[in-house]
Amino acid sequence: MVQVKVYYDKVGNTLTVWFDDPQKEYISEETGEEVILMKDKAGRVIGFEKLNFTMSDTEQLQVAFEAIAV
pLDDT of 15-43, one tens digit each? 999 999 999 999 999 998 999 999 999 99
List the one residue out of 17, 15, 22 whose CA is nearest residue 54.
Answer: 15
- The CA distance from 48 to 17, in Å, is 5
Is the pLDDT at 57 greater than 80, yes or no? no
Q: Is the model more confident about 69 or about 21?
A: 21
pLDDT for the residue 47: 96
pLDDT for the residue 35: 97
Determine contact, residues 35/48, Cβ cutoff 8 Å: yes
pLDDT for the residue 62: 79
DSSP secondary structure string, 23-46? GG--EEEE-SSSEEEEE-TT--EE
pLDDT for the residue 17: 95
Domain ranges within the chain, ordered by starting residue: 1-70
